[in-house]
Chain A
Amino acid sequence: ELKVEQNPLFLSMQEGKNYTIYCNYSTTSDRLYWYRQDPGKSLESLFVLLSNGAVKQEGRLMASLDTKARLSTLHITAAVHDLSATYFCAGHTGTASKLTFGTGTRLQVTL
């Protein structure tokens, strides 16, 4: 059974700083997703990573996937307040064809 863990669970960072959120998964996952959730809202899709070495960037966010290490990272560059939200990674197993979500990382960007 696929298990997905994220760290840190909570991250408070100043505007302008860089930081990385880590997502480890326990067994083979054929793809890795990153989502953003604002308080009281549903999920917004950020990235889908399909293969080892995949890197995707959108604005100040960059996601990467290392299937050998079973690790995905979400890197935040020069954080701004608007990035404050909870970020989830999710793994997908082809056999079960369902998503397993990580614990979530609550990001708070302070001025």
Chain B
Amino acid sequence: GAVVSQHPSWVICKSGTSVKIECRSLDFQATTMFWYRQFPKQSLMLMATSNEGSKATYEQGVEKDKFLINHASLTLSTLTVTSAHPEDSSFYICSARDRLASNLNLEFFGPGTRLTVL
């Protein structure tokens, strides 16, 4: 149980285009999902917290107009990188918190999406 999927697993795009990444909780409902970015050989940096049916909460320094987050259902959150540039190239990982196991605040992580912007 507690499987989180991401799609696509990798994407290459041209500078200036937009890319959408999907994060799905496959066998549980997630009222809260998180988006992280990880640069090579570095730690995970939280970008934003996504709550179903409400606006995402962005961490300091993360441009909300550039990284659009939508959490339209209890099993799906999307991250759209708008007008991508080479410096946006990174490994993007989502996680989801099981609504029914909130006492442990366990986050289940997706497999990640590697974005390369040319």
Contact = CB atoms under 8 A, between A and B. Distances in A.
B107 A48 contact: no
Nearest to A35: B109
Interface residues of B, number: 21
Contacts of B110: 42
Given A42-B93, A42-B111, A42-B112, A31 B44 contact: no
A42 B49 contact: no
Contacts of B114: 40
A97 B93 CA distance: 18
A31 B109 contact: no
Interface residues of A, number: 21
A58 to B, nearest CB: 16
A101 B44 contact: yes
A88 B46 CA distance: 14
Given A41-B111, A41-B112, A48 B44 contact: no
Specify which of A40, A42, A45, A88 lies most central, judged by the most chain B CB atoms within 10 Å of its CB: A42
Interface in A29-65: 31, 35, 40-45, 48, 50
A88 B43 CA distance: 8
Contacts of B49: 97-98
A102 B43 contact: yes
B62 to A, nearest CB: 13
B67 interface: no
A98 B43 contact: no
Given A44-B109, A97-B49, A98-B46, 10 more contacts: A40-B114, A43-B44, A45-B109, A97-B105, A99-B46, A99-B107, A101-B44, A101-B45, A102-B43, A104-B43
17 contacts: A31-B104, A35-B109, A45-B108, A48-B104, A48-B106, A88-B43, A92-B105, A97-B49, A97-B105, A98-B34, A98-B49, A99-B34, A99-B46, A99-B107, A100-B46, A101-B43, A104-B43
Interface of B: 32, 34, 41-46, 49, 93, 95, 104-112, 114
